[in-house]
Structure 1
Amino acid sequence: MYEFLEITRAGSVVTLWMNRPQQHNAFNAVMIAELTDAFTCLSADDSARIVILAGRGKSFSAGADLDWMKAAGEAGFDDNLADAHKLAQMFRILAEMPKPTVARVHGAAFGGGMGLVAACDICIASTDARFATSEVKFGIIPAVISPYVIRAIGSRQASRYFLSAETISAATAQHIGLVHEVVQSSALDTSIDELVRSLMSGGPRAQAAAKMLIRDVAEKAMSDALMQETAQRIASLRMDAEAREGLRAFLDKRSPDWMHEAQ
């Protein structure tokens, strides 16, 4: 049981709801610890095939709680460093979860909220969604979220939005690569359901390997070593039981076992 999180399940699809609606799902120490625990548990839960991250109330997440930020500003360096490590660890566990993660975004996704969006594999947003790396307005920087936001939007776009702290519309967020799809609020869950059906068709082990492949290959220049590494990965997976089942299912014109197990 969590104080600020709610977990719902529909078969093997898990929705993790941030549940501080009066505070627009802003982070504090308790929420960071709970998100870290939930991400860790879901990473190890083989019965969870897909994880959807969402927010109750009017916003996805407004980032850091102002009272928590104030307390951090009054603390010493060691305490601040410990808090920053906890926050950084939370984002990393989400980003490296070995299964598809989807951000369901409406309303504000500011600061750390935008970091959560970038750390997820896929983002579906409603037309009313708004994004910002607003940290410089408070005299700080989006440090621990930067690896994920820059991965999503690139350093050139980050050069603008990290410095200006401008609010980014859903349409602009899609244009710069943060958001994959923008839909009307009334169609948000329908669009996510359609995406989930597509994700369910993939083998769980293959999806985990695909996520690791992206992390390991992104930004690398082609070389003999990279060519050899990617060849070894596909050769290993071809021998896996999941790959053999996928091929048999295709040839037999049936659904693979993992789709039936997920229901």
Structure 2
Amino acid sequence: MADELVHYDVVGGTATITLDSPHNRNALSAQLRRELSESLDKAQADDAVRVIVLTHTGPVFCAGMDLKEARGAGAGAQGVNEFPKILEQLWTSPKPVVARLAGPARAGGIGMVAATDIAVAVPEATFAFSEVRIGVVPAVISLTVLPRLNARAAHELFLTGDTFDAKRAVEIGLLNSAVPADELDDEVARYVKALALGGPKALAATKELLSKPRPATPAEGFEAMNKLSAGFFASEEGQEGITAFAQKRKPNWVPEA
């Protein structure tokens, strides 16, 4: 039986999903894709999990598709057809997802970073949309990447395939922050702690709100947003949060320290 390439661990309401295929730079092989998708399903189905952290072993976060498995006409179709599910799982996860990068990401690896809610990397991490340089198109990942990047940077980086660093990744919207390696875990923990303070249902609804197209004018959206807001104020979760605030205590969904 092959060794697992994705590890899953839950501690204190945080599910950590670790890519562990350093021999091929955590490339998205068929086995890794399958195990990653299964781990995401497991985390999203577990009521005890409040936040998901996606990280890696080895010097590279993810090198994109495993090109050894993509050789031959039609050979890459399976990976291309399976990968959208993973991006969708990350993008639509009702639980916030934090990406922790201690190294570079390329192509599909950047697509996963863009699909998470919060992304933190070391300054030495580099990125590149290298697809055009091997004669393919960054089509699938464009659906998660383009909403993050400013348009001028997207045109430049998609078309040239040039490498850029973590500092620029923050500037153009791909990362939330870039911190020294010895501060990386503390920065991830800071975000995890902040996310865990939110009500689980409120977080899920807010994530859905963030992903919806904006109405042309505020007036067009007020009715739906008023209904959503009123529903949460009246909900069990909302009332618990309001009561906890008045009583100067933590709501019942906040994990014990």
What is the TM-score of this pair, normalised by structure 1? 0.92
For residues 23 and 169 of structure 2, the distance between their equivalents in structure 1, rounded to whole angstroms, comes to 25
Moved more, 192-201 or 96-105: 192-201
Tell me, yes or no, if structure 1 residue 236 matches structure 2 residue 231: yes
Please state how far the C-alpha of 1:9 moved relative to its aligned partner. 2.1
Contact 1:15 1:53 in 2 (8 A): yes
Work out which of the residue numbers 168, 184, 191 in structure 1 matches 2:180.
184
Please state how far the C-alpha of 1:27 moved relative to its aligned partner. 0.8
What is the TM-score of this pair, normalised by structure 2? 0.94
Instruction: State the SS of the aligned residue for 1:153.
Output: coil
Equivalent AA in structure 2 for residue 36 of structure 1? S
For residues 124 and 191 of structure 2, the distance between their equivalents in structure 1, rounded to whole angstroms, comes to 20
Work out which of the residue numbers 138, 156, 165 in structure 2 matches 1:160.
156
Contact 2:107 2:131 in 1 (8 A): yes
Tell me, yes or no, if structure 1 residue 246 matches structure 2 residue 244: no
For residues 226 and 144 of structure 2, the distance between their equivalents in structure 1, rounded to whole angstroms, comes to 27
Change in 2 beyond 3 A, CA 1:165/1:26: same
Correspondence list, 1:37-186, <5 A: 37-70=38-71, 74-76=72-74, 80-186=76-182
Please state how far the C-alpha of 1:223 moved relative to its aligned partner. 4.7
Instruction: State the SS of the aligned residue for 2:146.
Output: helix
For residues 151 and 219 of structure 2, the distance between their equivalents in structure 1, rounded to whole angstroms, comes to 27
What does residue 30 of structure 1 align with?
A: 31
Please state how far the C-alpha of 1:195 moved relative to its aligned partner. 1.4
For residues 200 and 2 of structure 1, the distance between their equivalents in structure 2, rounded to whole angstroms, comes to 32
For residues 14 and 140 of structure 1, the distance between their equivalents in structure 2, rounded to whole angstroms, comes to 34
Tell me which protein shows more helix as a share of its residues.
Answer: 1
Moved more, 245-254 or 145-154: 145-154
Instruction: State the SS of the aligned residue for 2:136.
Output: coil
For residues 53 and 193 of structure 1, the distance between their equivalents in structure 2, rounded to whole angstroms, comes to 13
Q: Structure 1: which 5+ residue stretches go unaligned? A: none
| Off by >4 Å, runs of 4+ in structure 1 | 79-82
Change in 2 beyond 3 A, CA 1:235/1:2: farther
Change in 2 beyond 3 A, CA 1:2/1:47: farther
- Residue identity over aligned pairs, in percent, reads 34
Equivalent AA in structure 2 for residue 251 of structure 1? A
Number of aligned residue pairs: give it: 256
Instruction: State the SS of the aligned residue for 2:105.
Output: strand
| Cα RMSD, aligned residues only | 1.7
Contact 1:122 1:180 in 2 (8 A): yes
Correspondence list, 1:201-212, <5 A: 201-212=197-208
For residues 75 and 228 of structure 1, the distance between their equivalents in structure 2, rounded to whole angstroms, comes to 51
